[in-house]
Chains A and B, each alone.
Chain A
Amino acid sequence: MTDPDPTTTGPLAPDDITADSPFTLPGFFGALSEGRLVAARCTECDEHMLPPRTACYSCGGRAVSLSEQPKTGEVVSYTSVNRPPSAFEHLAPVTVAVVELDSSARLTGRVDAALADVAIGDRVELRVRDPEAAGIDPAFDLSYEAEWPVHVFELA
């Protein structure tokens, strides 16, 4: 699943860092809107990072590549947000979890299930949704976020 693009096996050059590249947020969410979840993978220590970035927090190296991620994983921890920020208020209580994907990458996301139906270790699958269809107040978005999809986990 690792991108063999040779420009991503050492430090990125300024010209590599464009809005088309998943190493930037527009590029990451652009790929996500097409159904691809892309992480940065450190070629030195194998750390996976979501969203991608140009340096590895684990070892400090800049030899990072892109790696399309599996959408399945398991719940590491979870809770419910009983009083969420105002843009999410009508969705309350919002179940959220930290999920470890089968690649070892981790991310936080909403879970489309009631709190009582979730447990540590549960298998989940990441779905990509349009933010308005997901019910989030569009006023929450910054101008550049308006077209970005949101991710939600469903119990597998």
Chain B
Amino acid sequence: MSTAHLIAVGSSPLGETDLPGRDLFSKALAEAFAGLPDPADVVDGLYVGAQSERYENQIMQGTLMAEWAGLRNVPAERVEACAAAGALALKNAVRDVRAGVHDAVLACGVEKMTAGGTEGATNALGAAFERALEQRSGITAPATYALLARRYLHETDATEEDLARIAVKNHRNAADNPRAMFQQAVDLGTVMEAPDVAPPLKLYDCAPVTDGAAAVVVANNEVAEDLSECTDAVRVAGVGSAANNLAVAERDLTYVEGADVAATAAYEDAGIGASDVDVAEVHDAFTVCEALLAEAAGFAPEGRGTETVTDPADRSAGWTDVRINTSGGLKARGHPIGATGLLQAIEAHEQLTGRAGARQVADADTALLINEGGVADAHTAAHVLTTR
């Protein structure tokens, strides 16, 4: 089996923009290939994560992105599992490189979420939920996560303020991230007094609707070595993924089992354990997810997941010293659905190559990424990246 490396990364600006999806992709590609040969001379395949054709009335995103990258007559496919689409693109690229199918693959993701306004985004995202009983009951993304949050607050000692502190922490981190959509801190009072979206979740518990694209190059040893003067390689050491049930009613509301399975598989693939992870980007589409994922990934004891905000020295017994969502997370970096899993990979690449600036975690050499789609762990893809 070949070794897969993440050798180059790029993203578009994140937030509401004038640029359609393909142009956002061009921005991400331009950053990823700055100083590199043409994409056609580096990669021989492409995967693109894209949640919905409703935003821009466009499928065939694989063909379109390949064309926009100057790639022709290569395999180029769209992959989709709602918000896990980006990590699926990465996973498929890594699999192809490991298997020797391709020497290097472009994994990218794009979403133009603001194209149809708030109503367009609500309806497009609503398609991720079970149709027969749940969509037909009028649920939305915030409502399904509110069902998790309500139950989590019922079963644990955590409070709405504990969830709010996760949003505060992620905004603080984003203030130091030049890629982030919201590069400003918010205080606890602002988060607590914000309007209800789906109680107990309030506005700042929810990741924003975001336009954006991301692109990363996954390469084998040979390509990574050939391009070593213009790139920095980070090894993709572990991959895991799993689907859980689609309907939220048929899930454990306080244990994201699919995420546990995916993270455990990624750790085993990498030959590490949870305590080896220095930095983690986990899918905080809603604040409660960060807590649930900290527990599922083995960082936190059951019911203590909201201590992601706490300095490692002050956390409960059984917690690791991992730093979570140093990028600002989905909440504050932004959440352009199909690109999010790759934005997580970009943060890990920056942390592990010492490029994270003011948010750099000292001596970070191993990262975990957890990207989810549907309600929580309806689909999870997890990756371990390392420079060890």
The interface of chain A, by Cβ under 8 A from chain B, is 25, 28-29, 49-51, 57, 76-88, 91, 94, 96-99, 106-110, 115, 120, 131, 136, 140, 145, 148, 150-151
Interface residues of B in 103-150 (CB under 8 A from A): 118-119, 122-123, 126, 132-140, 142-143, 146-148, 150
Given contacts A98-B248, A107-B249, A108-B133, contact A77 B197 (CB under 8 A): no
CB neighbours of B137 from chain A (8 A)? 94, 96, 108-110, 150-151
Given contacts A50-B133, A79-B146, A120-B151, contact A106 B249 (CB under 8 A): yes
B122 touches A83 (CB 8 A): yes
CB neighbours of A96 from chain B (8 A)? 137-139, 143, 147
A150→B135 CA distance, assembly (Å): 11
16 extra interface residue pairs, beta carbon distance < 8 Å, beyond A51-B132, A87-B138, A108-B147: A25-B132, A29-B132, A77-B151, A80-B199, A81-B140, A82-B195, A83-B118, A85-B140, A98-B249, A98-B253, A106-B250, A107-B249, A109-B137, A110-B138, A151-B133, A151-B137
In the complex, which residue of chain A has the Cβ closest to the Cβ of B246? A57
Smallest CB separation, B302 vs chain A (Å): 18
Given contacts A79-B147, A81-B139, contact A108 B134 (CB under 8 A): yes
Smallest CB separation, B291 vs chain A (Å): 15
Does B154 reach chain A (CB closer than 8 Å)?
Answer: yes
Chosen A-B contacts, 9 in total, with CB atoms closer than 8 Å, are A29-B132, A79-B143, A81-B138, A81-B198, A83-B142, A98-B249, A107-B249, A108-B249, A115-B199
A148→B133 CA distance, assembly (Å): 11
A148→B147 CA distance, assembly (Å): 25
CB neighbours of B361 from chain A (8 A)? none
Does B245 reach chain A (CB closer than 8 Å)?
Answer: yes
Does B196 reach chain A (CB closer than 8 Å)?
Answer: yes
The interface of chain B, by Cβ under 8 A from chain A, is 118-119, 122-123, 126, 132-140, 142-143, 146-148, 150-151, 154, 195-201, 245, 247-250, 253
CB neighbours of B132 from chain A (8 A)? 25, 28-29, 51
B249 touches A82 (CB 8 A): no
A78→B118 CA distance, assembly (Å): 23
Given contacts A79-B147, A109-B133, contact A84 B250 (CB under 8 A): no
B147 touches A77 (CB 8 A): yes
Set B118, B143, B245, B248: member contacting A81, Cβ < 8 A: B143
Given contacts A49-B250, A86-B119, contact A76 B140 (CB under 8 A): no
In the complex, which residue of chain B has the Cβ closest to the Cβ of A57? B245
CB neighbours of B201 from chain A (8 A)? 79
CB neighbours of A97 from chain B (8 A)? 147
B148 touches A77 (CB 8 A): yes
A81→B134 CA distance, assembly (Å): 12
Set B136, B139, B197: member contacting A150, Cβ < 8 A: B136
A132→B386 CA distance, assembly (Å): 56
Given contacts A94-B138, A98-B249, A108-B248, contact A85 B126 (CB under 8 A): yes
A80 touches B198 (CB 8 A): yes
A110→B142 CA distance, assembly (Å): 15
In the complex, which residue of chain B has the Cβ closest to the Cβ of A25? B132
Given contacts A51-B132, A51-B133, contact A82 B151 (CB under 8 A): no
Most buried by B among A76, A107, A140: A107
A29→B146 CA distance, assembly (Å): 28
A72→B247 CA distance, assembly (Å): 20
